């Protein structure tokens, strides 16, 4: 039985390939017409050297000039030699254009449109060729706004293995997607999706995890939690989420979070509302409710998705606390005048 390998390119595009037991990653890539960097094919030049974000593999045979022991220990491998022992996520040096591949396009159908509040919508889509749409939990797609030449970027809030695709959409006055959803959208409408895209995704859990979400930035983290819940295995380390919003009505999907708290051992979450008049038990900002056990002395992987002010505040918090997380993955909202806050339109890594 083969394994699925996600090839993550420097421009944010991710392509998935199936690698059979007798194949190397490079062989399967070229069979799929994805030309990753390659020269010798013998583990002698190091041209294809890539970093494995997650998964297990047999590194194969190679010479030290192509890949040193220190590089191999750090997680680098040669796709021309490596054979997956599980599903993998591989960082490919170069862009998708260089590899003569590109972003994929899918046609989706609106199944449900739900309004949590006047400024927050839940959108559920179906895709006929769903088996061909693969994504990593935390990634996003670009959705073309019907009747316009514009697109908006939204993180999947559904898990990679769920048949339907779900998104949380923060609206804004006069926004293109806002206008469409509020004035014209109907069940059965067709939407064009382009993706998946983004370097903000769940890695292998090797230490405690801290999830920080602001507003609809909870969407990609819901996808991460669903992936963990559906894996059939309990996380080996504790996971804590601090979910911050401005007003009570901005809190969404808390029932889903409560469900994950019941099904995932070691998962806890706090809902934090900035409004002083809130009914929430915890008020203020996310950084005011982080405890020493959540920080684990810096030996923690942090995933943050929220507006720029929140991202900057968290980064200052770490600096002032004198703590550097083992890994810090973050994604900012992109905010523009008369345009929506896309849930994951600007990506950044650790």
| Fold that domain 104-197 belongs to in CATH | Elongation Factor Tu (Ef-tu); domain 3 (2.40.30)
Q: Convert the pLDDT of each residue in 137-169 to its tens digit.
A: 999 999 999 999 999 999 999 999 999 999 999
Tokens read off for 309: 């002010």
Q: Convert the pLDDT of each residue in 46-79 to its tens digit.
A: 999 999 999 999 999 999 999 999 999 999 999 9
Per-residue DSSP letter, 216: G
Share of the chain above pLDDT 70, in %: 95
pLDDT of residue 338: 37
* Confidence at 128, pLDDT banded by 50, 70, 90: very high
**At residue 270, does pLDDT exceed 70?**
yes
* Confidence at 231, pLDDT banded by 50, 70, 90: very high
298: left (phi over 0), alpha (psi -120 to 50) or beta: left
Residues in the chain: 350
Span 323-333, average pLDDT? 88
Q: What is the mean pLDDT of the chain?
A: 92
**At residue 331, does pLDDT exceed 60?**
yes
| Closest by CA position to 152, among listed 124, 180, 132, 117 | 180
Span 283-289, average pLDDT? 93
Q: Which CATH architecture has domain 3-91?
A: Roll (3.10)
- Give the distance between the most distant pair of CA atoms in the chain: 66
Cβ–Cβ < 8 Å for 8, 199: yes
How far separated are the first and last CA of the chain, in Å rounded?
33
pLDDT of residue 347: 37
pLDDT of residue 340: 52
Residue 122 CB coordination number (10 Å): 18
Give the full edge-to-edge strand order of the sheet including 190-197.
151-155, 140-144, 190-197, 104-117, 120-127, 165-170
Boundaries of CATH 3.40.50.80 in the chain?
Answer: 209-348
Span 263-271, average pLDDT? 96
Beta-carbon contacts of 89 under 8 Å, excluding residues fewer than 6 positions away, are 5, 6, 8, 52, 53, 54, 55, 136, 201, 203
**At residue 3, does pLDDT exceed 80?**
yes
* Confidence at 345, pLDDT banded by 50, 70, 90: very low
Span 284-291, average pLDDT? 92
Span 6-12, average pLDDT? 93
Boundaries of CATH 2.40.30.10 in the chain?
Answer: 104-197
Distance CA 348, CA 203 (A): 14
pLDDT of residue 266: 94
Q: Please, what's the b/e burial string for 206-225 (b: 16 or more CB within 10 A of its CB; e: otherwise)? A: eebbbbbbbbbbbbbbbbbb
* Region of poorest pLDDT, from 25-29, 207-211, 299-303, 319-323: 319-323
Per-residue DSSP letter, 145: P
pLDDT of residue 122: 97
Pick the CATH number of 209-348 from 3.40.50.410, 3.30.420.40, 3.40.50.720, 3.40.50.80: 3.40.50.80
Distance CA 22, CA 20 (A): 6
Cβ–Cβ < 8 Å for 90, 79: yes
Boundaries of CATH 3.10.20.30 in the chain?
Answer: 3-91
* Confidence at 321, pLDDT banded by 50, 70, 90: confident
Distance CA 176, CA 163 (A): 27
Task: Say whether the peptide bond before residue 196 is cis (omega within 30 degrees of 0).
Answer: yes
**At residue 277, does pLDDT exceed 70?**
yes
């Amino acid at each position: 039985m083969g394994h699925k390998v996600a090839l993550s390119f420097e421009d944010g595009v991710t392509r998935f390939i199936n690698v059979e037991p007798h194949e190397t990653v490079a062989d399967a890539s070229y069979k799929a017409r994805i030309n990753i960097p390659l020269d010798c094919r013998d583990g002698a030049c190091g041209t294809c050297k890539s970093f494995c974000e997650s998964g297990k593999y047999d590194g194969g045979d190679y010479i030290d000039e192509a890949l040193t022991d220190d590089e191999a220990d750090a997680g680098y491998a040669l796709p021309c030699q490596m054979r997956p022992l599980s599903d993998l996520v591989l960082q490919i040096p170069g862009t998708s254009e260089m590899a003569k591949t590109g972003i994929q396009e899918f046609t989706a159908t609106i199944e449900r449109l739900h309004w949590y509040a006047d400024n927050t919508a839940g959108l559920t889509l179906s895709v006929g060729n769903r088996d061909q749409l693969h994504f990593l939990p935390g990634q996003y797609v670009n959705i073309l706004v019907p009747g316009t030449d514009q697109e908006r970027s939204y993180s999947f809030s559904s898990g990679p293995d769920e048949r339907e695709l779900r998104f949380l959409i923060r609206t804004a006055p006069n926004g293109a997607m806002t206008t469409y959803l509020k004035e014209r959208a109907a069940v059965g409408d067709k939407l064009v999706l382009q993706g998946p895209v983004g370097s903000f995704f769940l890695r292998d859990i090797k230490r405690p995890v801290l999830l920080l979400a602001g507003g609809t930035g909870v969407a990609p983290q819901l996808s991460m939690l669903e992936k963990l819940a559906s894996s059939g295995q309990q996380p080996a380390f504790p996971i804590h989420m601090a979910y911050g919003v401005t007003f009570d009505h901005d809190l969404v999907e808390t029932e889903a979070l409560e469900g994950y708290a019941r099904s995932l051992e070691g998962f806890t979450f706090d809902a934090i509302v900035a409004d002083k008049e809130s009914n929430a038990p915890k008020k203020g900002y996310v950084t005011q409710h982080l405890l020493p056990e959540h920080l684990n002395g810096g030996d923690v992987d942090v995933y943050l998705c929220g507006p720029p002010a929140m991202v900057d505040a968290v980064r200052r918090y770490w600096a002032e606390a004198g703590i550097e997380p083992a890994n810090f993955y973050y994604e900012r909202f992109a905010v523009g005048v008369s345009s929506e806050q896309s849930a994951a339109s600007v990506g950044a890594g650790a």
